[in-house]
Structure 1
Amino acid sequence: MPSTDRRPAGGYLPGIDGLRAIAVLAVIVFHVEFLGFLPGGFTGVDMFFVISGYVISQSLAERRHRALRDYLLDFYRRRALRILPALLVVLLVSVLVSALLVPPVWLSNHNADTGLTAFLGVSNFTLAWQSNTYFSPSAEFNPYLHTWSLAVEEQFYVIFPVLFFCWLRYHTTHLLARIALPLLTLASLAWCAMQTQAAPLSAFYLLPSRFWELAAGALLFQMLDNTTDARRRATWPLVLLGAGLGLLVAGFVWTPAREFPFPWALVTVAGTALAIAGIVLAGGGGGRAGVLHRVLSAWPVTYFGRLSYSLYLWHWPVAVFLRWTVGLETVLVQVLYPLVVLGLAAASYHWIEQPMRRGRRMLQCRAGLTISAALLAVGLSAGAAMWTVDNTERLSLSRVADSYVWHAYKHYPREPIEVVEDPALQGRQLFVLGDSHTAAYRTMLNIVSLRLGIEVVEYERGGCAVVSLLAADPAACGEWKNDALADIQARAKPGDVVFLASLRMPELAGRDGWKDEDVLFAQALGERTAQQAQAARTAADAVLAPLQAAGLTVLIDAPSPVFKAPANRCSDAFNRMNPICAPGLTVERDRLLQLRAPQMHLLTQLAREYPVLKIWDPLPILCPGHLCSAYDEKGDPLFADADHLSGHGNRVLEPSFTQFLINLYRPL
């Protein structure tokens, strides 16, 4: 490309802020699931990537004549003042509110890790290494989820300024300076295409698969930097802007959660690049681009664009905390939510962003001082956040924060353990295999191990039921299950016990028909077809036959109670009015007996055919009366959510389970 010192329509272009407004509003509408509108609104983040690539390039080009050291120091000074103040405030507020209102349950297990790494600009790595996607249920309760995109940009800023400096200085004389960024962009796009299929989480969250989006904005700047005045006077601005906005709308409406970022991000990236080109080539004049440019440049639209960073920072934590407490479903909350977010964003913009960016104090103008102060602020903020996370149980306003009562963790028992001395228990092993309901027995299993002196070996994977009695065991878990069974058979001695613990009841939580229990239970019962029953039998035979052949005793827990609402989200004064809690935390015992009857019938058949199979039924202990409740008669929780046991529930069941095991081991 020919050399030029001309900027592409330099100065402030209000239309770019108009694009920012579109991007942030699309993301917000998507995140609050407003009427199912804009199912692809999450692509607003991709718009931000392209806009950032362009604007950063323009800003760097203004400083092309500086020495590399001054060029880099000034860049990071401006980035620190632009990004960190508002971000640190939002993160600290989110950490504190999380500690007060959001107890550590499975829906919030990864929140603390994500939040702490967000201070360091690497929360995208934490999210990429988890098993939950951006669209999974637990993501809705992580107030730091949105920081992944900021992390991607911050990591891009480590690499890009030097690349762009080389282009500014040497693109007329060195081939490598001209082709380095285009080659990296193509490599990133190719990597994105491969990772979207091979490693979707990495493709979504990590820079190598997103570099091309930010680089697209930079390449656009390089192209426009060499655009001739004749082209600027042509009719291209209106055509480009119209085509770009059309592609953006298509991305908002049709982009699926799957197959993203490749190939669907191409639509949004191309649309954003075309729209920016239309705005820049119009030179900010508005007349040549017509009504579209005037709308994007209108004061209300550009004001939202200027607020876009603060809007993005605040909109997600506010939605998470409302979703956890009062819920987002009611009309009142839906009306208040945008007002609260707008108020916080405006306060953040006018009282934090602008004073920090525009101030003329030495701390803000001297690059060395600014960067040192920024690092100190990050360190102190992260330290404060770590202390808050470590003291969540003391700070929390939620009764669910009492992890000893609520959570089936491997707490060392506070109560004295009376050890059972019995020669029949010497050297015995208990192997436990199943889904997350295996993990929900951890407190009980820990006490059993201490009381009986037996070794407990756990094999647990969420969503991987073993002998579910409902249908075939999940096919995706087949390899894991087979490996676990092979390991058990290799390690176990004849007479050892294999405890298969899984969810064996249709879930009731989250169903729409809870107002009419006849409809609700008929729906749940009707899901088990004859085909599924046969598949459940086949899956059970595949597990029980080899264990019996190995001379092992197999223990299965009969189906336990399930509830229509999660106890851990409905036990505090600030969340009982949440619509998710409306179904209540009690179910008639007869209803549950009816719901589990098909599974009990199959379990009885299996027990007749496999002499090694024994059945332990916790339901009579958890539900001794005609009404089953998530709480016991003292008001302590038996269940942590709608179907997983609490720590207290584990302790209630432990004497029965311990005695059952003793009876299994003694005859041997």
Structure 2
Amino acid sequence: MTQDSTIGTRAKRLDLQGLRILAVGLVIIYHLYPGSLPGGFVGVDIFFVISGYLIVGSLVRELAKTGSIGLGTFYARRIRRLLPASTLVLLGVMVASVVVLPQSRWQEVARDVVASALQVQNWNQAFGSTSYEAAGELVSPVQHFWSLAVEEQFYLLIPLLLLVAAACARLIKRGAESAALWLLLILAAASLIHSIVFSRQSHDFAYLATTTRMWELALGGITALVFSRLRLNSLTQLAAGWIGLAMVLVSAVTVTTTMAFPGYIALVPVLGTVLIIVAGAPGKGVAEFDRFGFSRFLSLRPLTYLGDISYSLYLWHWPVIVFYILLAGQQPGIVAGVGILLLSLVLASLSYHLVEQRFRHGKPATPTGEGNQPPRVQNRSAFALAAGLILLSCLSAAGPWSVVQAKSMQTVSDLATPDYPGALALDTDRNVKVREGVEIIPDPAIAMKDKTRLYRDGCAAYDPAKIDDSMCRYGDPTGTKSLVLIGDSHAGQYLEPLEAMAKTHGWRVRAMVRNGCPFNAAPAASATVTYTNCSSQNAVSLDKILGEKPDRVVISAMTPHGYNESLNWRWESDDVVVDGYEQMIRPLLTAGIKVSVIADNPYPERSIPDCVARNGAQSPECVTVRQQTKDPLLTAAEKLSDVQVIDPTSFFCVGNSCPPVIGNVLVYRDNHLTTTFAETLETLLTKKLALP
């Protein structure tokens, strides 16, 4: 999303400034009203092509003219152009997060701010967003920095590759510009093929990867090299401009996030952008056609000014939208959308004039050239500026991070003490008295860290093909009886109470838990992918269980309602899910293995730690309403004989109301139980399972 209108062409292309605002406008509309413009994110692709056209074109011309590239000057120019404005936004986001967000979110934002400052936000987001654990987390107010990271990673690499290409060209007595063109063609082809293949396999990850986007930037550079040699007639340019616009707009209206994007689909908006750029290049022929060209419209002064501030506008608009939604608790309507846009424009204009322009050109050094040589600009000061700004962003994130980290290092009282009965507070047989005024545990600020040890042990993503049978073993290693815990992450949250119980009774425990994979033969599906690898792995796990023949198998899983809410995964019907559970459980029963199923916990429709941090443990706003839908796992268990059903709902809820804090223990970290609360279910599980 960067720009540098002083390079890449011999004369400033005003139409490219206007094209920038078309790109950022599509992105803003998409972010405000994604349902109205589902493919508005293609504005990012437009920016990539423009950037490649200007910057790669400029590098190649420098290489052809001088035989080299001034790397120090190039990187210094990028620093002065980009870092001051982006650092201002990062600092503003960090301050706003501390003021607006609960402490439970501070470390997430701090991590994203550091990743953005270091220009690796795309990878940070890619690895985070593909994780099942990331489902339902706060949308990062700086996640849009991913596109800046892609560009800067590309521009760290491309000048070096161009120098290598030029060196090879000299060895075979070829021109540097020709070598650069071949390099860009090879790079674009390789990246595009990778993008097509990878987008089919994992389009969410591919969307953010640098390697799947390099072809768009390279194609911009190819456009600069190829069409600088051509002079098209005005009629051709007229057609190119409007056809290019049509391709971009069709993409913005028809492309969706469920498609295998970027892949080959991105060719439409990318080639459309190339046509728009070509339409504005110097041409020849019938001048009267020029007044009807799209490029003339893009060159109008209001649009070119918006293009001038488009970088800052891109930086500011997304945090403004995110914090509005957090404060208002809803998506913006028309009036709110206009307000968000106006505020973003004001911030962008101020940022452009007071920050971008102030740092952009650097401080001239003492002239040392001869004759009419222009004064050099000091590069060392730019690198010092970069170090200082990056350090400033990291330090601004370190403070809030440290506050939360200090809390996570605190030890909590023994759960056996009367102050923290947890689920036992709802045990009618015990009639436990709960002392009021006690600080709840875990602190909402660190609730997301209070998860089962399966994650630390590398056992939260069980794969029978990769995890050795000796791994993920718990309980009493010398025990004579064994238990297998199998299912998704909602099964995994019961490891700690089962392990404590197993140690007491001399049982061995094997965990076969995989996030997002219920022990079911029917694969779940999203809008684009059917997850058959889960059902196929379950078949292998079933064979392993039958071979080991444990004394007990305990199964639990999130309901289809939870999968739909958190991951947008679904099955054709509940009957399909019931049949899938039956196919897994029936062979166990036939083999004489006792099976117990644990009903899923109520699904919270909001972040309970955040709600408690804002409103207090007793707030009715934080109460979860018990869902009345049937759990297919329980239905399958009831259809089969000899399957024990354990329903802990009475330890989560009073009637249909499920409080956020029970017995001074916070119940949820997200849609999962906190491990602290899960541990208080040991008594219930011991009583129900009745292990000898």
CA distance in 1, matches of 2:445, 2:138: 22
The amino acid that maps onto 2:290 is: R
Residue 623 of structure 2 is aligned to residue 585 of structure 1:
yes
User: How far is the alpha carbon of 1:596 from its aligned partner?
Assistant: 3.3
After superposition, residues 183-198 of structure 1 pair within 5 angstroms as: 183-198=186-201
User: Which residue is equivalent to 1:148?
Assistant: 146
After superposition, residues 472-491 of structure 1 pair within 5 angstroms as: 475-489=532-546
User: How far is the alpha carbon of 1:186 from its aligned partner?
Assistant: 2.2
Q: Deviations over 1:614-650 (max 9, x none)?
A: 2222112222x33422334678643445x53344542
After superposition, residues 392-541 of structure 1 pair within 5 angstroms as: 392=404, 402=444, 408-410=450-452, 426=479, 428-441=481-494, 444-445=497-498, 448=501, 456-466=509-519, 475-489=532-546, 492=548, 494-495=550-551, 497-504=552-559, 506-507=561-562, 532-533=574-575, 535-541=576-582
CA distance in 1, matches of 2:43, 2:322: 19
The amino acid that maps onto 2:444 is: D
Residue 598 of structure 2 is aligned to residue 557 of structure 1:
yes
Residue 127 and residue 400 in structure 1: after superposition, are their counterparts in 2 closer, same or farther (change >3 A)?
same
User: Which residue is equivalent to 1:55?
Assistant: 54
SS in 1 for 2:328: coil
User: Which residue is equivalent to 1:3?
Assistant: none
User: How far is the alpha carbon of 1:95 from its aligned partner?
Assistant: 4.2
User: Which residue is equivalent to 2:221?
Assistant: 218
Q: Are the equivalent residues in 2 in contact too, given 1:167–1:177 (CA < 8 A)?
A: yes
User: How far is the alpha carbon of 1:148 from its aligned partner?
Assistant: 2.1
User: How far is the alpha carbon of 1:275 from its aligned partner?
Assistant: 0.8
CA distance in 1, matches of 2:351, 2:129: 33
* Greater alpha carbon shift after TM alignment, 207-216 vs 56-65: 56-65
CA distance in 1, matches of 2:380, 2:509: 57
CA distance in 2, matches of 1:176, 1:597: 63
Residue 640 and residue 557 in structure 1: after superposition, are their counterparts in 2 closer, same or farther (change >3 A)?
same
Residue 72 and residue 426 in structure 1: after superposition, are their counterparts in 2 closer, same or farther (change >3 A)?
same
Q: Deviations over 1:10-40 (max 9, x none)?
A: 2222211100001011011112225x22211
User: How far is the alpha carbon of 1:314 from its aligned partner?
Assistant: 2.2
User: Which residue is equivalent to 1:657?
Assistant: 685
CA distance in 1, matches of 2:99, 2:521: 37
Q: Are the equivalent residues in 1 in contact too, given 2:444–2:612 (CA < 8 A)?
A: no
Q: Are the equivalent residues in 2 in contact too, given 1:565–1:582 (CA < 8 A)?
A: no
- Unpaired runs of at least 5, structure 1: 1-6, 413-421, 512-526
Residue 215 and residue 381 in structure 1: after superposition, are their counterparts in 2 closer, same or farther (change >3 A)?
same
User: Which residue is equivalent to 1:370?
Assistant: 382
CA distance in 2, matches of 1:640, 1:104: 13
Residue 147 and residue 63 in structure 1: after superposition, are their counterparts in 2 closer, same or farther (change >3 A)?
same
The amino acid that maps onto 1:190 is: I
The amino acid that maps onto 2:647 is: D
Which of 192, 206, 209 is the aligned partner of 2:209? 206
The amino acid that maps onto 2:218 is: A
Residue 401 of structure 2 is aligned to residue 389 of structure 1:
yes
After superposition, residues 215-364 of structure 1 pair within 5 angstroms as: 215-228=218-231, 231=232, 234-257=234-257, 258-281=259-282, 288-290=290-292, 292-331=294-333, 333-360=336-363
Residue 454 and residue 352 in structure 1: after superposition, are their counterparts in 2 closer, same or farther (change >3 A)?
farther
CA distance in 2, matches of 1:143, 1:474: 30
Which of 651, 661, 666 is the aligned partner of 1:621? 651
User: How far is the alpha carbon of 1:428 from its aligned partner?
Assistant: 4.9
CA distance in 1, matches of 2:239, 2:37: 24
CA distance in 1, matches of 2:616, 2:253: 33
User: How far is the alpha carbon of 1:455 from its aligned partner?
Assistant: 5.1
Residue 347 and residue 536 in structure 1: after superposition, are their counterparts in 2 closer, same or farther (change >3 A)?
same
User: How far is the alpha carbon of 1:551 from its aligned partner?
Assistant: 5.0
SS in 2 for 1:459: strand
CA distance in 1, matches of 2:574, 2:138: 32
User: How far is the alpha carbon of 1:48 from its aligned partner?
Assistant: 0.4
CA distance in 1, matches of 2:279, 2:46: 15
Q: Are the equivalent residues in 2 in contact too, given 1:509–1:563 (CA < 8 A)?
A: no
CA distance in 1, matches of 2:357, 2:616: 36
User: Which residue is equivalent to 2:673?
Assistant: 645
After superposition, residues 23-62 of structure 1 pair within 5 angstroms as: 23-33=23-33, 36-60=35-59
Q: Are the equivalent residues in 2 in contact too, given 1:202–1:209 (CA < 8 A)?
A: no
CA distance in 2, matches of 1:424, 1:9: 72
Residue 343 and residue 449 in structure 1: after superposition, are their counterparts in 2 closer, same or farther (change >3 A)?
farther
The amino acid that maps onto 1:465 is: P
- Unpaired runs of at least 5, structure 2: 1-6, 367-375, 409-439, 455-474
Q: Are the equivalent residues in 2 in contact too, given 1:156–1:211 (CA < 8 A)?
A: yes
* Greater alpha carbon shift after TM alignment, 93-102 vs 79-88: 93-102
Residue 410 and residue 196 in structure 1: after superposition, are their counterparts in 2 closer, same or farther (change >3 A)?
closer
SS in 1 for 2:554: strand
SS in 2 for 1:366: coil
Residue 423 and residue 207 in structure 1: after superposition, are their counterparts in 2 closer, same or farther (change >3 A)?
closer
Residue 575 and residue 654 in structure 1: after superposition, are their counterparts in 2 closer, same or farther (change >3 A)?
closer
User: How far is the alpha carbon of 1:568 from its aligned partner?
Assistant: 4.2
CA distance in 2, matches of 1:268, 1:49: 11
User: How far is the alpha carbon of 1:133 from its aligned partner?
Assistant: 9.4
User: Which residue is equivalent to 1:521?
Assistant: none
Residue 651 and residue 9 in structure 1: after superposition, are their counterparts in 2 closer, same or farther (change >3 A)?
closer
User: How far is the alpha carbon of 1:319 from its aligned partner?
Assistant: 2.6
Residue 272 and residue 433 in structure 1: after superposition, are their counterparts in 2 closer, same or farther (change >3 A)?
same
CA distance in 1, matches of 2:501, 2:253: 54
SS in 2 for 1:614: strand
CA distance in 1, matches of 2:485, 2:47: 48
CA distance in 2, matches of 1:245, 1:182: 24
SS in 1 for 2:88: helix
CA distance in 2, matches of 1:626, 1:424: 40
Residue 167 and residue 329 in structure 1: after superposition, are their counterparts in 2 closer, same or farther (change >3 A)?
same
Q: TM-score, normalised by structure 1?
A: 0.77
After superposition, residues 603-618 of structure 1 pair within 5 angstroms as: 603-606=637-640, 609-610=641-642, 613-618=643-648
User: Which residue is equivalent to 2:468?
Assistant: none
Q: TM-score, normalised by structure 2?
A: 0.75
CA distance in 1, matches of 2:405, 2:496: 19
Q: Are the equivalent residues in 2 in contact too, given 1:638–1:649 (CA < 8 A)?
A: yes
Q: Are the equivalent residues in 2 in contact too, given 1:505–1:560 (CA < 8 A)?
A: no
Number of aligned positions between the proteins: 608
The amino acid that maps onto 2:141 is: P
